[in-house]
Amino acid sequence: MTVAEQILPGTGDRVVVRDRSSGAVVQDLAVDTPEAVAAQVARARAAQPAWGALGVRGRAKLVKRARKELARDRAEILGLLERETGKARFDVVGELMGICLDLGLLSRRAARWLATERVSPRPMFGKRAYVAYRPRGVVGIISPWNAPLNLALGDAIPALLAGNAVIIKPSELAPLAVQRAIFGVLAPIARWRGYRATYPQLSRIVLAPRT
């Protein structure tokens, strides 16, 4: 089976994810329309100011809890990674472990890395100059299939810590583990009262026919 065969000809608005070892269908997913994508981005943009207002330490506290959620759901995530990428268990365990390590490291150091810095104002002597980090708004991530978890969440985690909302478009060849993991990453955030209304939208991946 070639990679291209995972998109069935004539399906139009559907993406069929197949087991790369057997060719069996793992899941049949709907493709979001351009209008649906635009609506999701709009909802993310509306939710972002409240998320950004939490401050980096508040965001880090919530994001760090995602590690427990991912560890609790590891069997399901690893099983999906194996089936949709064709990798051995040893390889996919390393991918999930990498994300868990990133969650811990970035959550611990985000406050220091994002702190306002005083810098030299030269050549404007007699002045003070600072570098302040502010959220950009909504971050869109388009990730490939070969390391789907690392290459999607590896960018999403720092973007969330920096105060942004995130929309992820994973590869159509391997979207399932990313989708499952996103629920784990966002579950602690969803339990934050001010974010609950937008959680279903933010936890939903955006699918398009091709990455």
pLDDT tens digits, 165-188? 888 888 888 888 888 888 766 666
List all residues 6 or more positions away from 145 whose beta carbon is below 8 Å from its beta carbon: 84, 85, 170, 171, 173, 174, 211
Please name the residue ranges forming H helices in the chain. 34-53, 55-64, 66-72, 74-85, 89-113, 148-161, 176-190, 199-202
Measured distance CA(166)–CA(138) in Å, rounded: 6
List all residues 6 or more positions away from 127 whose beta carbon is below 8 Å from its beta carbon: 121
Measured distance CA(130)–CA(165) in Å, rounded: 25
Token couple for 62: 């919530």
Scanning the structure block, which residue is given the tokens 């929309």? 167
Measured distance CA(47)–CA(109) in Å, rounded: 24
pLDDT of residue 186: 65
pLDDT of residue 184: 65
- Residue 139 main-chain phi, psi, to 5 deg: -105, 125
pTM for the full model? 0.78
Task: Give me the residues of the chain with pLDDT under 70, please.
Answer: 1-12, 184-211
Report helix angle 74-85 to 89-113, nearest 10.
Answer: 120
Q: For residue 208, which of 179, 160, 175 has the smallest C-alpha distance? A: 175
70: Cα within 13 Å, side-chain hemisphere: 26
Measured distance CA(138)–CA(54) in Å, rounded: 16
Classify 33-202 by CATH class.
alpha beta
**Domain coordinates in residue numbering, the chain:** 33-202
Chain centroid, CA 52 distance in Å? 17
Measured distance CA(126)–CA(123) in Å, rounded: 9
